[in-house]
């Protein structure tokens, strides 16, 4: 099929995060009669590598010989840009889709050099993302990102509120930024949720709370643990079990915090799960306590499985997903007492949550299916290539 558009999807790696899961999802569902999908990774690593479809060619900076000689600031990035630009020309790529700000810093100058149009996806609040992930030379990287997004043919945000934040923060034109929500293969999620639980560390009694995500500051697990401490050690809710699925840099610090609160028998760490859906489905309540988000995939996935949810009203995504609190509890971020209040209310309403949960399930199934979101992305790719 020589008329197919050759599109390169680019991301740092395929570790166990929401953006990585979304890249694999797009690779699985993009229309093969119109597009030939390729994948570029800075690092050929990650739990989701084995889920990349067999017909997708994978290129990586890891495939190049290691650099030798003196280390100078920016040298690795320049080598990554050179490799990316050469690959675009050698493989005759028609359009690039890059995801996450680290990848955008490489893709933008490489695409300009190779003359290839680009769609860049923003997945988190810009100010928070820069503060959390760019501790060195932040002022310079802020300017480079602003220039990178301005030179993109399209900037894609995964929620309406994040799209407006991108326009304001990076000073982008109204038409340049497009909101396309993350898409979900709900049939796949439902099928995998019917599998047996893959870990026996889940609490077996009491009210079951589940939370899933990277163990990083932005996810606010420390605030959740403070809330659980309030519930167990102050309010006396001893029949409570909290299961944390995920891995990350803050794992040891969070385990230490749980021990400080004497919650070792309440909070269970079970690491990264390739299939978290049986665990989520088993929960009495799913909690998301992030300080900031773009569009939290796992919140939509929990709702699609008919699980009651509680989320912080952080920027951006939860308010849009929960329709302002109509479909699940919204609490201010960073407030252990209010999170504890929300969990306590869910415990008290345990038998009366079915109507709200059914409404939430129907809503996300209608709004976030993989077919309409992939079609919206395909339309943007077509427009950029034609232009």
pLDDT tens digits, residue range 65-102?
887 666 666 788 999 999 999 999 999 999 999 999 99
What is the spatial distance between Cα 237 and Cα 220, in angstroms, rounded to a whole number? Answer: 22
Contact 305, 190 (CB under 8 A): yes
Which pLDDT score is estimated for 127? 82
Q: Could you tell me if 113 and 199 are in contact, meaning their C-beta atoms sit under 8 angstroms apart?
A: no
Helix (H, G, I), strand (E, B) or coil at 84: helix
Q: How many residues does the chain have?
A: 387
pLDDT, residue 170, reads: 93
* Bridge partner residues of 369 (DSSP): 184
DSSP 137: S
pLDDT at 67: 73
Residue with tokens 């991108």: 166
Q: What is the pLDDT of residue 126?
A: 86
Q: What is the pLDDT of residue 290?
A: 96
> What domains lie within the chain, and their CATH numbers?
5-183+369-386 (3.40.50.2000), 187-367 (3.40.50.2000)
Helix runs in 91-208, H state only: 101-114, 126-133, 138-150, 160-170, 186-193
| pLDDT for residue 73 | 66
Place of tokens 């990102």: 145
What token pair was written down for 354? 């079915």
Q: pLDDT tens-digit profile of 254-312? A: 999 999 999 999 999 999 998 999 999 999 999 999 998 888 999 999 999 999 999 99
3-class SS at 334? coil
pTM, to two decimals: 0.89
User: Residue 1's pLDDT is what?
Assistant: 44
Show pLDDT as tens, one digit a residue, over the chain (387 residues). 458 999 999 999 998 788 999 999 999 999 999 999 999 999 999 999 999 999 999 999 999 888 766 666 678 899 999 999 999 999 999 999 999 999 999 999 999 999 999 999 998 888 877 777 666 767 788 899 999 999 999 999 998 889 999 999 999 999 999 999 999 999 999 999 999 886 555 655 689 999 999 999 999 999 999 999 999 999 999 999 999 999 999 999 999 999 999 999 999 999 999 899 999 999 999 999 999 888 899 999 999 999 999 999 998 889 999 999 999 999 999 999 999 999 999 999 876 678 889 999 999 999 999 999 999 999 999 999 998
């Amino acid at each position: 099929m020589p008329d197919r558009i050759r599109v390169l999807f680019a991301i740092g790696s395929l570790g166990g995060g929401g953006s990585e899961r979304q890249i694999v999802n797009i690779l699985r569902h993009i229309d093969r009669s119109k597009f030939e999908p390729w994948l570029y990774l800075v690092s050929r690593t990650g739990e989701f590598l084995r889920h990349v479809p067999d017909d997708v060619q994978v290129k990586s900076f890891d495939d190049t010989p290691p650099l030798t000689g003196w280390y100078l600031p920016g040298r690795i990035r320049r080598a990554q840009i050179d490799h990316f630009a050469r690959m675009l020309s050698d493989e005759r790529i028609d359009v690039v889709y890059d995801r996450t700000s680290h990848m955008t810093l490489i893709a933008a100058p490489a695409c300009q050099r190779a003359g290839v149009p680009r769609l860049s996806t923003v997945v988190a609040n810009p100010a928070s993302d820069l503060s959390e992930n760019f501790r060195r030379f932040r002022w310079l990287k802020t300017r480079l990102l602003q220039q990178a997004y301005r030179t993109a043919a399209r900037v894609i945000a995964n929620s309406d509120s994040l799209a407006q934040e991108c326009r304001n923060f990076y000073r982008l034109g109204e038409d340049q930024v497009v909101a396309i929500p993350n898409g979900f293969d709900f049939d796949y999620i439902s099928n995998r949720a019917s599998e047996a639980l893959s870990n026996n560390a889940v609490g077996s009694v009491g009210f079951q709370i589940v939370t899933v995500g990277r163990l990083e500051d932005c996810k606010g697990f420390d605030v959740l643990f403070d809330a659980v401490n309030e519930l167990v050690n102050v309010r006396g809710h001893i029949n409570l079990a909290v299961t944390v699925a995920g891995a990350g840099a803050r794992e040891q610090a969070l385990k230490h915090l749980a021990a400080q609160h004497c919650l070792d028998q309440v909070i269970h760490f079970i690491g990264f799960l390739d299939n978290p859906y049986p665990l989520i489905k088993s929960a009495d309540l799913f909690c998301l306590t992030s300080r900031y988000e773009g569009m939290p995939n796992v919140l939509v996935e929990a709702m699609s499985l008919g699980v009651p949810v509680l989320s912080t009203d952080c920027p951006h995504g939860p308010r849009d997903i929960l329709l302002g609190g109509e479909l699940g509890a919204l609490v201010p971020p960073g407030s252990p007492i209010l999170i504890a209040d929300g969990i306590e209310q869910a415990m008290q309403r345990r038998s009366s949550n079915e109507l709200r949960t059914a409404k939430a399930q129907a809503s996300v199934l209608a709004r976030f299916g993989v077919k309409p979101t992939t079609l919206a992305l395909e339309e943007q790719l077509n427009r950029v290539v034609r232009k």
